[in-house]
């Protein structure tokens, strides 16, 4: 018995272990170098890139231009001298409150007296000098162009003044809303609105802001210099932007520096043909679309444009509801790659439909 155990431990069991190791090694070599799986054919792409197409559809376009702005104090308005002459009396005081039409100062200007013929000679035969004519004056007044507080007063009695001088400035107790608008957005305003809808951040309910003006930097500078009451303070330094200003109603409580959202109403077009702006080359007045023909080719076609809301544009003429056009103008920015996928049914690439 002991002899059998020794033989098992010394010869048989080591032999079995060597045999197992050899079998495992052969199996690994076969798996690594002699795979029995058939060689897979190289992947061949089957997708076909197809340009997305759309047709004009009827819709409504609300053309509202929105911009950010802030509340500012109304700028001072200048009171100008109406005629050349001498200041006779000053009735206003620095820091005083005046109403529109109040007389701030009076001006006199001595008229040139007419020539007087000399008197007849006296007994000695010498002509007597003509008596001096009484001086005659014309009068005028400097009046307040608006109600407010006098913040500049450069007038004293007997001062010589000239026409057009602005020795007095009055700051109204009112406010304006001022913002800037990108010049390209002016295309969306076929006619300049006279008012705007304003919402003050964390303020009162939305209100209508009146006396709306849209001006380039140069025009805004001229308006400020001329004492336009709806010009914005600081406009004299603005030379390269387009500004929008309007007057805050007196009954609305606001404070300088408040942020505001301004909506300019540019009109509404209802039940009109529309296309996405991505399908039209040009976004104001005229444009070009790429229409698909019966043979699958595309051709350029001129169209007349109407209102736009920044996403859709009104097609006045040039295409109909039955036409099929490219959704994206060739060469323009299209949907990002992550917005494209391969349709498993047709094998074609479709873009712009994810996330809907």
Q: What pLDDT does 139 receive?
A: 93
Mean pLDDT on 121-143: 75
> pLDDT per residue over 75-100, tens digit each?
899 999 999 999 999 999 999 999 99
| Chain mean pLDDT for the chain | 81
Which is more confidently placed, 84 or 112?
84
pLDDT beyond 90 at 348 = no
Encoded tokens for 239: 């030379």
pTM for the predicted model, two decimal places: 0.59
CATH hierarchy code of domain 77-107+136-171: 2.40.50.100
Q: What pLDDT does 238 receive?
A: 41
Average the pLDDT over each of 113-122, 166-175, 182-191, 274-283 and give the range with the smallest value: 113-122
Q: How many CA atoms lie within 13 A of 355 on its CB side?
A: 7
Mean pLDDT on 333-345: 49
CB 228 within 8 A of CB 161: no
Q: What pLDDT does 293 receive?
A: 87
Domain boundaries, the chain: 53-61+270-351, 77-107+136-171
CB 74 within 8 A of CB 256: no
Q: What pLDDT does 313 receive?
A: 93
Closest CA to 298 of 56, 57, 53: 53
Q: What single-letter DSSP state applies at residue 279? A: G
- The top-level CATH class assigned to 53-61+270-351 is mainly beta
Name the E strands within 133-258.
Answer: 137-143, 148-153, 160-161, 168-171, 175-180, 196-200, 207-215, 243-247
Q: What pLDDT does 12 receive?
A: 74
CB 318 within 8 A of CB 302: yes
What residues contact residue 26 under an 8 Å CB cut-off, 6+ apart?
Answer: none
């Amino acid at each position: 018995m002991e002899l059998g155990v020794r033989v098992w431990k010394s010869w048989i069991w080591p032999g079995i272990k060597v045999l197992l190791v050899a079998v495992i090694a052969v199996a690994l070599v076969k798996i690594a170098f002699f795979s029995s799986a058939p060689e897979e054919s190289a992947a061949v792409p089957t997708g076909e890139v197809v340009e997305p197409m759309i047709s004009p559809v009827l819709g409504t376009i609300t053309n509202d231009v929105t911009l950010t702005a802030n509340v500012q104090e109304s700028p001072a308005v200048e009171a100008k001298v109406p005629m050349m002459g001498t200041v006779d009396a000053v009735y206003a005081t620095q820091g005083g409150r005046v109403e529109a039409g109040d007389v701030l100062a009076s001006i006199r200007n001595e008229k040139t007296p007419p020539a007087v013929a000399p008197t007849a000679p006296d007994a000695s035969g010498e002509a007597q000098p003509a008596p001096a004519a009484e001086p005659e004056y014309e009068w005028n007044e400097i009046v307040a162009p608006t109600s407010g507080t006098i913040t500049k007063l450069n007038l004293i009695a007997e001062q010589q003044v000239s026409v057009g001088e602005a020795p007095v400035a009055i700051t109204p107790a009112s406010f304006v809303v001022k913002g800037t608008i990108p010049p390209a957005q002016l295309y969306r305003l076929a006619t300049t609105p006279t008012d705007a809808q304003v919402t003050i951040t964390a303020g009162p309910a939305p209100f209508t802001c009146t006396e709306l003006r849209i001006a380039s930097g140069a025009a805004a500078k001229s308006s400020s210099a001329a004492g336009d009451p709806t010009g914005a303070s600081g406009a004299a330094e603005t030379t390269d932007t387009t500004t929008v200003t309007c007057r805050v109603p007196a009954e609305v409580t606001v404070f300088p520096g408040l942020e505001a959202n301004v909506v300019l109403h540019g009109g509404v077009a209802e039940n009109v043909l529309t296309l996405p702006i991505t399908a039209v080359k040009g976004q104001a007045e005229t444009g070009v679309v790429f229409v698909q023909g019966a043979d699958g080719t595309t051709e350029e076609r001129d169209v007349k444009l109407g209102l736009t809301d920044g996403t859709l544009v009104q097609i006045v003429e040039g295409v109909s509801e039955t036409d099929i056009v490219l959704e994206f103008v060739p060469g323009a920015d299209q949907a990002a790659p992550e917005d494209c996928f391969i349709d498993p049914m047709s094998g074609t690439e479709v873009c712009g439909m994810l996330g809907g």
